[in-house]
Amino acid sequence: MNFRFSKFKFRIASERQVVAGRGGQRRFTGVMGALRRGFTLIELLATLVLIGLVMPVAMQVVTLCTGLSGQSRHRLEAATLGRSKLCELIASGQWQTGGAGGDFGDNWEGYRWSMSQAAWSDPVVSQIDVTVVWAERGRERTLTLSTLAYPEEE
């Protein structure tokens, strides 16, 4: 297949072409027309050195990314659990009884919660804090969610 652009003529080569070599030997060429040859020893050694330098760094990056994704997953789960517990405490009025705590059941093993109530700048309004605690990589992590609430009038 030939194409003509101004004064230059280009030919698109097939994937492999047979080229006659010295002494009637057949050699195969690639798309660009270069003869196919093996790699030299120095090229192989240079490649191995390059791989040896790049692979440890790449593996550290993969390890770091995996750890960070696990941390963000735990924080997201803790925020979701804390929000639902805070909404439950406000809706049921249990926040008025003072401090409380517990776990989230069998579905969320490893996560615990505690609630505290504190006065706010306005004496009528109370600040309710729900703290979610979980263990990650041998360390205890916490996430605290807060809201303001008015006591129910009786």
Query: Which CATH code of 2.60.40, 3.90.1570, 2.20.25, 3.40.1350 fits the domain covering 78-149?
Result: 2.20.25
Query: At residue 57, does pLDDT exceed 90?
Result: yes
Long-range (24+ apart) CB contacts under 8 A made by 125-131 are 125/149, 125/150, 126/95, 126/150, 126/151, 128/86, 128/89, 128/90, 128/95, 130/82, 130/85, 130/86, 130/89, 131/82
Judge contact between 89 and 130, C-beta under 8 A: yes
Residues 24-38: tens digit of each pLDDT? 555 555 555 555 568
pLDDT tens for 92-132 read 888 888 778 888 888 888 899 999 988 888 888 889 999 99
pTM of the model: 0.59
At 17, phi and psi to the nearest 5?
-130, 145
